Chains A and B, each alone.
Chain A
């Protein structure tokens, strides 16, 4: 029997025995081979070692040529039965000692040779060395009985082990093979049973978890699957069959000749004919004659286009003779092997068509009741056929009034004149449908906006059957739209024209609006990029102008996040605005009705311009403030309501002695006596009430530093644009000094008058006084000359005293006259050489100088513009005085000296003339008094004189716009100093 066809049990057995046999054989072979090699090697080694021992032991014997000893050493070999023979060769290769000792010489090889197995024994040659010196060689010859003994033992052992092993293998194999063969045999049996009975419900028994078990499982699973599939297939087939057979639609399959291969029960039911009426036949005779050409066409089309559906509606005759409407869908599946024919789906639509007709009627009813749309049917000529409620509602006609009228009645006369209705119908015809919006007329003549759609209605043959016209009243809608549009436009226009920049973005940061002002201010328009890019794109910085604004701080970005920003200042610098501008920006989120944020808006304006104008105003203010502060008049501003000070200038501070800080916010009662405050306040109220300026020429005011002052005040009301009083402005001039001056002038004027009168009086009086005096003197003289001899001594003395008094009186009067004449008889000024004047004066005084033995030294004197007579009188008086008041017994020494121009500008126009004497002098406290009229420091008996001379001097000097002063001390002489201007006409005056 071929191995392949052996039962699996025998196969397994053979496999096992062969395998184990082969393994054992191989194992033993290799073992024995190894043993052979190793035994030989061991034996060689062992005998070599033995030879070496003998070599070592016999070295001395050889060295010392002791044969007996050598033989003795070899004799030890007798213990080994396997040892055949042995000998020692000396260094010449001659046998020196032998074993057995009596071995014949031919027993040994001729000399030392190679160790090895040869001829059934082992030869060992081992050289004998003492140090490096070779003394000889050991030769051993052993038989191989050790090996052969071993080999036979191995052979027996191997035989026994192999036999036992195979026996064991056979037994084990028998026992274990069933583990493998049984499941396979079972499986095979099961498979046979299934194929015999075609019963897929049988299952194989699983006998373990190994591969066979797995195989069994897979086999069973496969069976389950086959069973499932078969079931599914059967079910599916049943389903399809049932689907087809229970379908309302009939299914027919026919060949290309139209002969039926299959008809579904539905079809037989549909036509009331048995299946046998169709199978194998072509029933064109059941077709309605009118439909025959169509069906023939469609059949041809189906045949032409495999795989494509072709539809047709036609009629078939029922068994009862009635016609059934059929919707047929055919598909050519002749090429499909599963079908191999034309499949027709046949649906009876007779009932459906009836229903549709009813539905159409219902639709018409519905249309009739629609109110918001006028829906009407027009005939081909545009005459109205139907009228619905909407039409009545919109146009005002009742159906009875309008049916049959042309639809153009709704058009305005203008449109009709233009032929518009016809044109519209024409357009509808052309395009199948048209829409227009326009003004229409109601029954009552009012007009409305209508949106009209007209559709042409055509039958299957593309013949026009009429029109359907749907009209909607869009008046309100259009109105609302218009309002919305206007409102939007207005808003747009506002945003476009507003000066502030307005930017709107949606929640994604896309710009929805960027108005013109925004573009103008920023210099750039809307750019795509989003909030993260804005700072870069538009150059948005913090107000410092250097820090780029972080994206999250951008007011628009914040608005989008739902945060509001108010008047934030930002700096913009970009290509169109290289210098940058400062803007103020306000942001707000945009929220819908539900409060959800859907974007943000920012409004901003350029602050640079505003800042400039603010600066300009500031400058003006500063200017006005400076003016206000530096005006010498007091200026104050009070608020109109409570009259509290709100503004006060420096002049006011100085005048009132109140700092503005103390004053601000307070009123008059805080600073002035009640009466004054009352007065001020009432005037203020009047001014504010009447709204007119009030001039107060004089007004007393109590000040801290200056006592009571007189002010000239103007109070002016300041109003706002509407005329309501805001402030009271007050401007006050301190006229105290002015008033005083004016009083002084009046006094001076009256004084001048009285002075003149007095002078006149003195002159007249002096003149008139002279007359009686002269009489007294004359008659006194007469009395003394004619009656002197008759008078006693006492009489004479009286007479003499009277005459002296009269003379003194006369002198006095003359002096007074002189004094008055200084002004009344003044001569015009001329150039006067003072040296000449002094010389003349001295000549007049020559006698007095002679009497007193005085000396007068005169220095060079200037020429001045003066009255020469008065100059002469001046010097005569002063020098005369000096002569007169000399110390008793001391001749007077007088110096007249002048200084001119050398001592500065003022004196450059004046001259100073000093008259010094060494006379009695005077107490300096009288320095001024001596110039007064009739003032005398000494008794008349000491020094003669009227006490008018110096008064005259002063008057003369004053008339010349100069001055005269005296200096002196008692007994030390005195100095009179005259200051005279060199030129008159320049008001030098006193220094």
Chain B
């Protein structure tokens, strides 16, 4: 998830100042069990200090740049993504009908390897530019495609 922060470009309007923190949000249960906090400690994304936020609802999560939607929220995926629609948020999830409901990056575990699908439509909607290198590694999902 942190790698996405490196390979995705957000619109410049997202940050009011150069030292405003880059927020990675987790909506729902934390599957990383606090491990993620250790990982990002002291890291910076394009000069912005990286911080982890945990949200209980979609409304709360509207101010983050990357939002991981936990498996615990799989049932409400459509509702959550509808709330965040139009926000410049890279939504990430590993469960449910995420792409179908307008999510951007969906992790998929296949053959014990983690792959990801990216919805270019959703990314475009959220005004996010995703590095072609990442796209080369991902499956592209979208209308007309699976």
B131, A60: Cβ atoms under 8 Å?
yes
Give complex CA distance A61, B7 in Å. Answer: 12
**A557: min CB distance to chain B, Å:** 101
Give the number of A-B contacts (CB < 8 Å): 27
A69, B6: Cβ atoms under 8 Å?
no
Within 8 A of B (CB), among A222-270: none
Task: Mark contacts of A554-572 with chain B using CB atoms, 8 A cut-off: 1 yes-contact digit, 0 otherwise.
Answer: 0000000000000000000
Within 8 A of B (CB), among A154-170: none
B6, A64: Cβ atoms under 8 Å?
no
Secondary structure of the B contact surface, majority rule: helix
- Which of A60, A131, A132 sits near B134, CB closer than 8 Å? A60
B137, A60: Cβ atoms under 8 Å?
yes
B131, A131: Cβ atoms under 8 Å?
no
B136 contacts chain A at the CB level, 8 A cutoff: yes
> Which chain A residues border B44 with CB–CB below 8 Å?
132
A130 contacts chain B at the CB level, 8 A cutoff: yes
- Which of A69, A130, A131, A132 sits near B137, CB closer than 8 Å? A69
**B102: min CB distance to chain A, Å:** 24
A403 contacts chain B at the CB level, 8 A cutoff: no
> Which chain A residues border B3 with CB–CB below 8 Å?
63-64, 130
- Which of A59, A131, A132, A133 sits near B133, CB closer than 8 Å? A59
Most chain A CB within 10 A, of B3, B133, B136, is at B133
**B43: min CB distance to chain A, Å:** 8
Give complex CA distance A59, B134 in Å. Answer: 10
A810 contacts chain B at the CB level, 8 A cutoff: no
A329 contacts chain B at the CB level, 8 A cutoff: no
> Which chain B residues border A133 with CB–CB below 8 Å?
6
**B10: min CB distance to chain A, Å:** 14
B46 contacts chain A at the CB level, 8 A cutoff: yes
Give complex CA distance A948, B6 in Å. Answer: 185
In this complex, what residue of A is CB-closest to B46?
A131
In this complex, what residue of B is CB-closest to A133?
B6
Give complex CA distance A793, B46 in Å. Answer: 205
Give complex CA distance A60, B136 in Å. Answer: 9
Within 8 A of A (CB), among B99-146: 131, 133-134, 136-137
In this complex, what residue of A is CB-closest to B135?
A60
A201 contacts chain B at the CB level, 8 A cutoff: no
**B3: min CB distance to chain A, Å:** 5
Give complex CA distance A133, B3 in Å. Answer: 10
A57 contacts chain B at the CB level, 8 A cutoff: yes
A965 contacts chain B at the CB level, 8 A cutoff: no
**B64: min CB distance to chain A, Å:** 20
Most chain A CB within 10 A, of B44, B46, B136, is at B136
Contact A64:B46 (CB < 8 A) given known A130-B6, A133-B6: no
In this complex, what residue of A is CB-closest to B138?
A64
A66 contacts chain B at the CB level, 8 A cutoff: yes
In this complex, what residue of B is CB-closest to A59?
B133
Within 8 A of A (CB), among B25-72: 44-46
> Which chain B residues border A132 with CB–CB below 8 Å?
44
Give complex CA distance A271, B44 in Å. Answer: 141
Task: Mark contacts of A113-135 with chain B using CB atoms, 8 A cut-off: 1 yes-contact digit, 0 otherwise.
Answer: 00000000000000000111100
**B131: min CB distance to chain A, Å:** 7
Give complex CA distance A130, B6 in Å. Answer: 7
> Which chain B residues border A130 with CB–CB below 8 Å?
3, 6-7
A63, B136: Cβ atoms under 8 Å?
no
> Which chain B residues border A66 with CB–CB below 8 Å?
137
Within 8 A of A (CB), among B61-97: none
Most chain B CB within 10 A, of A61, A64, A130, is at A64
In this complex, what residue of A is CB-closest to B7?
A60
Within 8 A of B (CB), among A41-62: 57, 59-61
In this complex, what residue of A is CB-closest to B3?
A63
> Which chain A residues border B46 with CB–CB below 8 Å?
131
Within 8 A of A (CB), among B1-26: 3, 6-7
Within 8 A of B (CB), among A353-384: none
Give complex CA distance A69, B7 in Å. Answer: 16
Give complex CA distance A131, B3 in Å. Answer: 11
Give complex CA distance A133, B44 in Å. Answer: 10
- Which of B6, B45, B137 sits near A61, CB closer than 8 Å? B137
Give complex CA distance A69, B132 in Å. Answer: 13
Give complex CA distance A899, B111 in Å. Answer: 189
B6, A131: Cβ atoms under 8 Å?
yes
In this complex, what residue of B is CB-closest to A56?
B133
**B116: min CB distance to chain A, Å:** 8
In this complex, what residue of B is CB-closest to A130?
B6
Give complex CA distance A63, B7 in Å. Answer: 10
In this complex, what residue of B is CB-closest to A72?
B136
Give complex CA distance A209, B134 in Å. Answer: 83
Give complex CA distance A43, B7 in Å. Answer: 32
Give complex CA distance A133, B40 in Å. Answer: 12
Within 8 A of B (CB), among A126-147: 130-133
In this complex, what residue of B is CB-closest to A131?
B6
> Which chain B residues border A59 with CB–CB below 8 Å?
133
Give complex CA distance A59, B131 in Å. Answer: 11
**B107: min CB distance to chain A, Å:** 11
In this complex, what residue of A is CB-closest to B131?
A60
> Which chain B residues border A61 with CB–CB below 8 Å?
133, 137
> Which chain A residues border B131 with CB–CB below 8 Å?
60
**A716: min CB distance to chain B, Å:** 143
In this complex, what residue of B is CB-closest to A64?
B137
**B78: min CB distance to chain A, Å:** 28
Give complex CA distance A33, B134 in Å. Answer: 46
**A57: min CB distance to chain B, Å:** 7
**A52: min CB distance to chain B, Å:** 15
CB pairs A–B below 8 angstroms (26 shown): A57-B133, A59-B133, A60-B7, A60-B131, A60-B133, A60-B134, A60-B136, A60-B137, A61-B133, A61-B137, A63-B3, A63-B6, A63-B7, A64-B3, A64-B134, A64-B137, A66-B137, A69-B136, A69-B137, A130-B3, A130-B6, A130-B7, A131-B6, A131-B45, A131-B46, A132-B44
Given contacts A63-B6, A130-B7, could you give 8 more A-B pairs where the C-beta distance is less than 8 Å? A57-B133, A60-B136, A60-B137, A63-B3, A64-B134, A64-B137, A130-B3, A132-B44
